[in-house]
Structure 1
């Protein structure tokens, strides 16, 4: 993998995070302890963590361990969701040494190597059964259902209220007509951009290194740029994503509405 890569936006990408050299399995009991402790805080973040944990717990109660899959693409939101899922699996004693977490990774054309590398390491560290399928999303999910045994009844999705077409979503929603049939589960639907970053930083959860280079929303190399709000006075340098002040500008580095 090349140490430096350049996209069509003219920004030179810095080396992929050295975290990716580590593939040791995470201690889910530690994740459980730290996440559930954070959920007890009397703060907006504590409330949001509690709500998300309750939704995840309900999903496993309703659909069972084999009935739920996680949609994971290496982005900040689904990284938070994955960490929350790991905490619940440990709390409910659903983790098994030989039973990985069912995961589907719908890939973009011309993806960032940083993202693919991050997903690969997360698959090892969180013990994911990660099936990578090229998009578009509708066809990819149908293919995933077709090849899955048993077929999942629900899929965790790391979508939030300010994402496109998410205004009216609830914690549990059936897919729209014409889409593969399953329940979409949205545990972090009401989280803000700030809460996503507060969670990642508070719990020291590793995330894709592109976010430290000014990217605030990730897609393919063709449609994703560093956020102009984070540009510094140094040529080609940007502040990290968590420094973004106006959350409404989260997608200002994207040239399409796909996520």
Structure 2
């Protein structure tokens, strides 16, 4: 996957037609003469014979079903700048492109909750701002625990009935989740939608490559799972012979994805 590891960032034209060269994100170059269109990417990959095509198709159908159930104003996104939710964001934007075309509704705006770490990496915050512009997100940034973040978000967006979450089964507490599942007792009542539950680590990086999904530059520096500065370090499994670190996509054992997370005693 040589196209996923270059630190030479290509100039890309974004939604507003303004070229950008962000130092905090790797933006995979699209095919020649291709404009930014996640929907075209999704349709191309689903129609391909790549092993990941059925996984992307199933995920995309879950997102479309969520849009049909809750419509655009009732469906929000939980986003933190990590690779999983960035893949989800890209697929959501594609689904919104299809939904807007079929329903002749207005411009795409994605209501988004960003529960940030108080000690978040500057590169992560900058990447989130980049995604906010690129994917036309109406983003609310909140510090604190997720439960309070959702409660505050719903106070500002009471029409929200469901929220897309980029949880996978290999994540903590993700093993028994369903694609559509209400929050637990004691949490603000909202339907959680988990479209990428069955993606593994390799599928995430393969999907990002095929769909031309941007990602935070920290993944090129040996980080494989991003939290806050105080609980995240480079993954020791990616240490190379040059006393440096390989990029995240080179991790071959997905069970070691969280080896860079520092466990507090």
Q: TM-score range by the shorter chain?
A: 0.7 to 0.9
Per-residue deviation, residues 65-95 of structure 1 (Å, max 9, x unmatched): 1000011110000010000001111112268
2-structure distance, mates of 1:53, 1:121: 23
2-structure distance, mates of 1:221, 1:22: 29
Query: Partner of 2:15 in structure 1?
Result: 25
The yes-or-no answer on 1:52 pairing with 2:59 is yes
Report the CA distance between 1:202 and its aligned residue. 1.9
Deviation larger for 219-228 or 41-50: 41-50
Structure 1 unmatched ranges of 5 or more: 1-16
The yes-or-no answer on 1:79 pairing with 2:77 is no
The structure-2 alpha-carbon separation of the partners of 1:215 and 1:185, relative to structure 1 and needing over 3 Å to count, comes to same
The structure-2 alpha-carbon separation of the partners of 1:145 and 1:38, relative to structure 1 and needing over 3 Å to count, comes to same
Query: Partner of 2:232 in structure 1?
Result: 224
The yes-or-no answer on 1:182 pairing with 2:172 is no
What does 1:196-207 align with in structure 2 at a 5 Å threshold?
196-207=204-215
Report the CA distance between 1:29 and its aligned residue. 7.0
The structure-2 alpha-carbon separation of the partners of 1:223 and 1:87, relative to structure 1 and needing over 3 Å to count, comes to same
Query: Partner of 2:20 in structure 1?
Result: none
Report the TM-score, using the length of structure 2 for normalisation: 0.84
Q: Answer yes or no: is the 8 Å Cα contact 2:13–2:36 preserved in 1.
A: no
The yes-or-no answer on 1:141 pairing with 2:150 is yes
2-structure distance, mates of 1:18, 1:152: 40
Query: Partner of 2:261 in structure 1?
Result: 254
The yes-or-no answer on 1:65 pairing with 2:65 is no
Q: Answer yes or no: is the 8 Å Cα contact 1:59–1:68 preserved in 2.
A: yes
Deviation larger for 133-142 or 154-163: 133-142
Secondary structure, in 3 states, of the residue corresponding to 1:222?
helix
Report the CA distance between 1:158 and its aligned residue. 0.3
Aligned residues: 239
Query: Partner of 2:166 in structure 1?
Result: 158
Deviation larger for 159-168 or 195-204: 195-204
Q: Answer yes or no: is the 8 Å Cα contact 1:22–1:121 preserved in 2.
A: no
2-structure distance, mates of 1:73, 1:154: 17
Query: Partner of 2:44 in structure 1?
Result: 37
Per-residue deviation, residues 194-230 of structure 1 (Å, max 9, x unmatched): 0000011122221000000010000000000100000
1-structure distance, mates of 2:46, 2:110: 22
The yes-or-no answer on 1:168 pairing with 2:192 is no
